[in-house]
Structure 1
Amino acid sequence: MGYIQSILISSLLCLLACSRGAVASQSPTSSNPPVIGILSQEYSVSSKIRFHFSGHKSYISASYVKAVEASGAMVVPILIGQSEDYYEDIMGRINGLVIPGGAALFNNTDGYKDAGKVLFHIAEKINLKGDHFPILGVCLGFELLLHVANNEQEVRTKCNCFNQGLSLKFMKNGSKTGIFKRFPKKNLKALAKESFTYNYHIWCISKSTMEKTKLVDSWTILSQSQSADKNKFVSAVQSKQFPFVGTQFHPEKHAFEWNTKGHFNHSRIAIETSRLFYDWLVDEAKKNKHCYPSQADLYKDVIYNTAPVMTYPYNDETSFEQLYFFD
């Protein structure tokens, strides 16, 4: 089944569901919450956790789920290694997408990168047809957005930015553009003055690389950050054409990760400010009327079908407190 047929069928089912009082009887802007998909990824977290919880194909960190739910949406996991029909169908049912951070390799086949690429292009098609479908890419997800946008040509360079809380240096008008224009002044000031955006990455994307590859023609650089070793890198971007936002840092960790080896700032201003990124995603997701044909169909897919697993005492090599595993 092709993209257009899939969306048409999904829309028809939603209309039928509305007439029957099912889950789609109200738009996501009312008491019926939007549904956000979170992409899973192949098992590439720390060796101790990988050994102890072996036998699973993919995982999602629970902090992403909690962050989305805290902003008022339900969560559906999106599995890797599936058919294009699977991704087209689920994108016609969910209202927005998180492409999370992690350690998946872009040269792996049939995994996170391949699934993310398919989802990215489906989201492009949805938006080009006049629908409104947002994506939030975090850390590796931020890198994947720009990787796919650059026709899968490498845009990253090696860097050392582990466990670092950093401030944002907004580009000219960056704090008044895109996602940031909705942030209260006190939160923008905190992002610029306080070093609390949590960075945990070995790859960076520079402003010069985005200029050289012409990515700046289609993406607005909102901010840069500077690591402890004085390496400047792009820390937030937004598509000029689509409701796609990428952050190299992790907004979800401040409120939901507690590992003492992670330099997570748990101050009220850090938690409140970080929540705004997921608030943006959920509010943007309310602008489309994608839906599941019935409540029963929705509850077959929601994250509640899988129980999160505590990683302690094997989490000394990772910042994840809880993980969802998928076979």
Structure 2
Amino acid sequence: MLWSSCVALSFGLSVNAAISVSAQQTSSPVIGILSQPIGLRKTDQNTEQKEEYVIAASYVKWLESGGARSIPIPYDAGPGMVKDLFGQINGLLLPGGGSAVPPAVHQLLNLALDESFPVWGTCLGFEYLVQVLSSNSSLPVLTDGFDAENNSWPLLNVQRRQLYQDDRIYQIVRQKNVTSNSHHMGVEPSAFRNNENLNKLFEVTSVNVDGHGRPFVSTIEPRNPHIMPIYGVQYHPEKNAFEYGTYAGTNIPYKAIDHSEEAVEFSAYVARFFVRLVKAHNDNNHDGSSVHRHHSYTKHRQYPLVQTYPVKQMLAFEQYYVIPSAKQLDKTIKQSASKLLRG
């Protein structure tokens, strides 16, 4: 993963600068966040409407609180762009939202499985994981109709594998309303158990029941985290620390999110857990061998960090970044390359 002095010098950097860049790559990994469509917006001419892609700022802040940077992966990215972006990142975050599984996610997860690459799925991202990795079972794994919109609950039947191993966190998640839920889709424990592939790959380490008493899986952890470091939660750990939206002109919270000391502590703990996982898998394998050497954030102009994009606000998110579509991004990359060639 570390840049060699020769590569650094080819970019006009000194050896000392190369060492500094290498250290940053190791200490603050880059995690790709999939953008999400949020509907249509009018163009400047008001003659047509285009879909807008976004990343909630809470995900970016959450990863930063764990010690990581992030770059966007366009929801509509094609195979070539996905492969190129995959080489720039050290981990992958599939966030919440309300969209169907795009082809990019299938490709990203296949690449991740091939390389024992760290992946985190939150809410919709969790649902993506179970849909893609259930191997197209004839029995539906993900179903609709859950009453789990705008609720914060403790976790039930918590298993102490990796994520909830810490004594204090184990007590917090079992006793406090620290998990923010915002979904109507979900996976019943029986549906998960009946899927051979999911059972082979994951262990259910917590469940919940919705407002009508219907159970759903709320945490999955890999049975072999060294080979497949992929985790998924149905709740939103980023919201406790970084979403404080209120209805316009009021102090009334838009979402029932717990911002207690324990909730914020839990949010930070989960961020650190994932970022530590990313660092570990990008530094050394479980047998001590070096892994993921070809994953290095070098294309800064083509793929800027998320926080360089325009910021907006809406009720659902305190802040969100407007991310270009794959087509727009590809056009920008080509224009930049053309300018460089012209000198």
Q: One fold, TM greater than 0.5?
A: yes
Q: Describe the SS at the equivalent of 1:195.
A: coil
Q: Describe the SS at the equivalent of 2:33.
A: strand
With normalisation by structure 2, the TM-score equals 0.77
State the Cα distance separating 1:152 from its structure 2 match: 3.9
State the Cα distance separating 1:191 from its structure 2 match: 0.4
Does the alignment pair 1:323 with 2:316? no
Does the alignment pair 1:239 with 2:222? yes
1:167 match: 154
Change in CA separation of 1:52 and 1:223 when aligned onto 2, cut-off 3 Å: farther
Q: Which amino acid aligns with 2:64?
A: E
2:287 match: none
Q: Which amino acid aligns with 2:265?
A: E
Task: Give the distance between the partners of 1:140 and 1:155, measured in 2 at CA.
Answer: 14
Cα RMSD after superposing both structures: 2.4
Task: Give the distance between the partners of 1:269 and 1:299, measured in 2 at CA.
Answer: 39
Please, which of 310, 319, 337 is the counterpart of residue 307 of structure 1? 310
Task: Give the distance between the partners of 2:6 and 2:264, measured in 1 at CA.
Answer: 41
Please, which of 141, 147, 150 is the counterpart of residue 134 of structure 2? 150
Does the alignment pair 1:211 with 2:208? no
Q: Which amino acid aligns with 1:139?
A: C
Task: Give the distance between the partners of 1:207 and 1:90, measured in 2 at CA.
Answer: 34
2:269 match: 276
State the Cα distance separating 1:104 from its structure 2 match: 0.6
Does the alignment pair 1:264 with 2:257? yes
2:113 match: 124
Please, which of 19, 23, 26 is the counterpart of residue 23 of structure 2? 26
Task: Give the distance between the partners of 1:52 and 1:230, measured in 2 at CA.
Answer: 42
State the Cα distance separating 1:15 from its structure 2 match: 7.4
Q: Describe the SS at the equivalent of 2:184.
A: strand
Runs of 4+ in structure 1 over 6 Å off: 11-15
Task: Give the distance between the partners of 2:41 and 2:76, measured in 1 at CA.
Answer: 22
Does the alignment pair 1:199 with 2:192? no
Change in CA separation of 1:15 and 1:58 when aligned onto 2, cut-off 3 Å: farther
Q: Is the 8 A contact 2:240 2:258 kept in 1?
A: yes
2:339 match: none
Task: Give the distance between the partners of 2:207 and 2:5, measured in 1 at CA.
Answer: 44
1:4 match: none
Task: Give the distance between the partners of 1:14 and 1:207, measured in 2 at CA.
Answer: 48
Q: Which amino acid aligns with 1:291?
A: S
Q: Which amino acid aligns with 2:297?
A: Y
Q: Is the 8 A contact 1:292 1:298 kept in 2?
A: no
The higher relative CO (CA closer than 8 Å, separation ≥ 6) is in 1
Bigger CA radius of gyration: 2
Does the alignment pair 1:17 with 2:7? yes
1:38 match: 33
1:137 match: 121
Task: Give the distance between the partners of 2:54 and 2:195, measured in 1 at CA.
Answer: 32
Task: Give the distance between the partners of 1:268 and 1:251, measured in 2 at CA.
Answer: 14
Task: Give the distance between the partners of 2:279 and 2:5, measured in 1 at CA.
Answer: 17
Task: Give the distance between the partners of 2:7 and 2:232, measured in 1 at CA.
Answer: 34
Does the alignment pair 1:180 with 2:167? no
State the Cα distance separating 1:65 from its structure 2 match: 0.7
Size of the aligned set, in residue pairs, is 286
Q: Describe the SS at the equivalent of 2:164.
A: helix
Change in CA separation of 1:104 and 1:218 when aligned onto 2, cut-off 3 Å: same
State the Cα distance separating 1:29 from its structure 2 match: 4.1
| Unpaired segments ≥5 residues, structure 2 | 10-14, 44-48, 246-252, 283-292, 325-343
Task: Give the distance between the partners of 2:5 and 2:205, measured in 1 at CA.
Answer: 39
